[in-house]
């Protein structure tokens, strides 16, 4: 399987597994729209807008690959990372991150939200992968972006990783502040027992 086909299929299946299916499942089972990012002039919604842009860098990168060397060279390839062993490691990381994310999504169940839901209180999940990481889905996303950088080592992949990491750091802190208010001592105890990433 070529890198073009792998990255294309992986991106489609990752988006379906990480965002589309859990969102649809939660909406069908609860009637709640899990997508909470809006257009307000606040940090939460600004992060949501930039997440969309950052995720959009990945298919643009893949498209440049499909358009051939004359277009792909404008992505500013990091030539010394263009090694088959690193590409293989990137593929392994991507597959592992996909599996990790699917499991975390399953364990989160109907508590899944994209952003902070101040209207509908959800169950507080602490078991499974949430017993290893307070943010397993963000951790899976981070692994995916690292994997993509190893598979397609260029400026677009590096930009997606850098922006994604910064946005996740901001969003995690917004969510932790919200969860601390919502669940009080229970969440504080959880914070002390489980690390933010892993």
Q: Is residue 18 part of a domain?
A: yes
Q: Is residue 198 part of a domain?
A: no
- In our burial notation (b when 16+ CB lie closer than 10 A, e otherwise), range 151-172 reads bbbbebbbbbbebbeebbeebe
77, β-bridge pairs: 154
Q: Is residue 10 part of a domain?
A: yes
Check whether 38 has a pLDDT greater than 90.
no
For residue 144, the model assigns a pLDDT of: 97
Q: Is residue 67 part of a domain?
A: yes
Give the span between the Cα atoms of 190 and 131, in whole angstroms.
9
Question: pTM of the entire structure?
Answer: 0.93
Q: Is residue 42 part of a domain?
A: yes
Give the span between the Cα atoms of 115 and 62, in whole angstroms.
27
In which band, very low, low, confident or very high, does the pLDDT at 1 lie, cut at 50, 70 and 90? low
Over the stretch 143-192, which tens digit does the pLDDT of each residue have?
999 999 999 999 999 999 999 999 999 999 999 999 999 999 999 999 99
Q: Is residue 58 part of a domain?
A: yes
Inter-CA distances, 20 with 40, 64, 186, 195, Å: 23, 25, 30, 27
Q: Is residue 185 part of a domain?
A: yes
How many domains are contained in the chain? 1
CATH number, domain containing residue 33? 1.20.120.1630
Q: Is residue 38 part of a domain?
A: yes
Q: Are 110 and 123 in contact (CB under 8 A)?
A: yes
Domain holding 157, by residue range, is 3-193
């Amino acid at each position: 399987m070529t890198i073009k086909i792998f990255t294309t299929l992986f991106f489609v299946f990752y988006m379906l597994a990480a965002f589309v299916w859990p969102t649809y499942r939660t909406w069908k089972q609860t009637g709640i729209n899990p997508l909470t990012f809006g257009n307000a002039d606040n940090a939460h919604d600004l992060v949501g807008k930039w997440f969309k842009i950052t995720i959009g860098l990945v298919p643009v990168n893949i498209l440049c690959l499909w358009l051939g060397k004359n277009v792909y060279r404008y992505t500013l390839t990091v030539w010394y990372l263009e090694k088959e062993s690193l590409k293989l490691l990137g593929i392994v990381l991507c597959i592992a991150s996909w599996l990790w994310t699917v499991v975390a999504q399953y364990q989160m169940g109907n508590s899944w939200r994209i952003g902070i839901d101040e209207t509908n209180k959800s169950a507080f999940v602490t078991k499974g992968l949430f017993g290893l990481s307070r943010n397993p889905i963000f951790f899976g996303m981070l692994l995916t972006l690292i994997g993509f950088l190893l598979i397609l080592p260029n400026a677009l992949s590096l930009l997606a990783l850098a922006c994604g990491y910064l946005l996740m750091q901001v969003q995690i802190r917004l969510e932790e502040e919200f969860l601390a208010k919502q669940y009080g001592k229970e969440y504080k105890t959880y914070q002390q027992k489980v690390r933010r990433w892993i």
